[in-house]
Amino acid sequence: MKAIYKNSLIFIVCEIFSKAMPFLMLPYLSRVLSINDFGQLGLFTSLQALTIILVNFSFEGAIARYFYRYGYNNLTTLIFHSFSFVIFLGLIVFSLSILLFPDNRLLHYAIVVSVFQSVFNILTTSKQCQKKVYQYALYQISFSLLSVLLTVILFNFISFDTFSRINAILLSLIVCALVFILFEAKRTKKLLSFITMKRNLLYMLSFGLPLIIHQSSLYFKGQFDRLLISHTFSINDLATYTAAFQLASVVNVGIMALNKALVPYYFEACKNERINVSVLRKYAVLAIPFSIVPGLLALLMPDALYSFVLGSKYSNLSSLVALFTIGFGLQAPYLIIVNFLFYHNRNRHVATATFTSSLIHLMCLFFFKQYGIGYLPYSLIISNSICIIMLYYWGINKNGKT
C-alpha cells in the first residue's frame, strides 16, 4: 500500500510539473512575445492538436491496454512498431500539407511536432503502465526543463518569435525520443519480423480507429475555437482568448495529472471488481459540485490580478477565465466514467457521446460567436455537461448491471 501511495505521488508530482510548465511560462511568454506572436502560438497549439489525431491513432492507449491485458510479452516490440507507424503516418500527412498548403509554415511545424509528441506520449505511457516511476519522472522533468532552457536560449540568440518557442519544444522532444531509443532498442528481438509487425499493426488499429471520432470530438471541443477565432476575430482577440484559456488550464492540468497518475490503479481496481457500476455512479455524481468550485473562485479574482500576471497588454479576462475553469472542471466526472468504459472496451459508447457533444459544441460556437468572443466558453460548459449526462445514463447502463 505504501508503494502505491509513493508511486502515485511521484506520478502526480511529475505530471503536474510537466503540464504546469507552460502555465508557469505564461507570464514570460506574454511579455516577451508580441500579441501577434502570442496569438500565433495559440493557433499553432490548435493545429498541433488537430494533426496529432492524424499521425497517432491513440497508440499510447493501445500500449497501456496491451500491458494490462497481456503483460510484458511483446511489449517493447509493440512500442517500437508504434513509433514506426507514427513516423509513417507523419510522412504522409506532411507530404500532403506541402502539396495542399505550401506556404503554411505553422501547419508544417505542427505536423513535425505532433510526430515527436506522439513518440514522447507513447514512451512515457510505457514507463507509467510498467510503474517505472523514476524513469517516467526523468523523461517528464527533462523534457519540461529542456524546453524552457532552449526557449530562453533561442529567444535571446535567434529571435523573440513564435518559431523560436516551437523549435525549443521540437528539439526537446527529439532529445527525449533519441535517449529512449538508444537505451531500449536492444531489448527487442522481433522488430523486423513482418508477422509481428502485421499483428501489432492490426491490434493498434483495432483499438485506435474507433477512437478517431472520439479524438476528433475532443479536438472540436478543446481546440477548434481558436481556428474559428483566427478566421472570425482579430489576432489580438485570439491572443486574449488564448491567454484566458491557458490561465484556466491550470485546473485541467491538475485533473489530467491526477487522471494519468491514477489510471493504472483505477484499471487494477476495475480488474479486481473493487470499482463497479454503483461505485462509479456514486463518485461521478460527487465530482460534479467539486468541479464547479474553481470556476466560482476564478470569478472572484479581480481583472487587475490577471493583468499583473500577463502584462498590461491583457485585460478584461475575469469572466473568460471563470467560464473556461468551469468547463475544464467538468473533466473530473467525465474521466471517472470514461476510464471505466475504456477498461471494459466500450470505446464506441465513449465515441458516440463525445461525437454528439462535439456537434453540440460546434453549433454553440457558431451561435455564440455572433454575440462576441466572451460568449464562446459557454459552448464548452454546455457540451461537456451533455456528454457527462449521456455517458452516465446511457454508457454505464450499456456496460452492465450493478
Q: What's the pLDDT tens digit per position in 263-291?
A: 777 787 887 778 778 788 888 888 888 88
- Assign residue 311 a region: left if phi > 0, alpha if psi is -120 to 50, beta otherwise? left
CA distance 175 to 177: 5
Q: Write down the residue that cell numbers 472540436 correspond to.
A: 220
Q: Which pLDDT belongs to residue 191?
A: 63
Is 176 buried (19+), middle (13-18) or exposed (0-12) by CB count in 10 A? buried
Averaged over 324-352, what is the pLDDT?
A: 85
Q: Return the number of other C-beta atoms located less than 10 Å from residue 290's C-beta.
A: 11
pTM above 0.95, yes or no: no
User: C-alpha angle with apex 336: 269 to 52, nearest 5 degrees?
Assistant: 110
Q: Write down the residue that cell numbers 499521425 correspond to.
A: 55
Judge whether residue 399 has pLDDT over 60.
Answer: no
CA distance 211 to 197: 21
Arithmetic mean of pLDDT over the chain? 85
- Domain ranges in the chain? 33-209, 229-399
Q: Which pLDDT belongs to residue 162?
A: 92
User: What are the angstrom distances between the C-alpha of 141 and each of 15, 107, 133, 147, 311?
Assistant: 9, 27, 12, 10, 28
Q: What type of residue sits at position 273?
A: E
Q: Which residue has the higher pLDDT, 153 or 257?
A: 153
Q: Which pLDDT belongs to residue 400?
A: 46
Q: Which pLDDT belongs to residue 188?
A: 65
Residue 391: DSSP 8-state = I
Nearest to 53 by CA among 110, 99, 129: 110
User: What are the angstrom distances between the C-alpha of 356 and each of 91, 214, 351?
Assistant: 31, 10, 8
CA distance 351 to 72: 29
Contacts of 297 (CB under 8 A, 6+ apart): none
pLDDT in tens, 132-175: 888 888 999 999 999 999 999 999 999 989 999 999 999 999 99
Q: Which pLDDT belongs to residue 401?
A: 45
Judge whether residue 402 has pLDDT over 50.
Answer: no
CA distance 285 to 292: 12
Q: Which pLDDT belongs to residue 16?
A: 75
Contacts of 248 (CB under 8 A, 6+ apart): 298, 320, 321, 322, 324, 325, 327, 328
pLDDT in tens, 69-118: 877 788 888 888 899 999 999 999 999 999 999 999 999 999 999 999 99
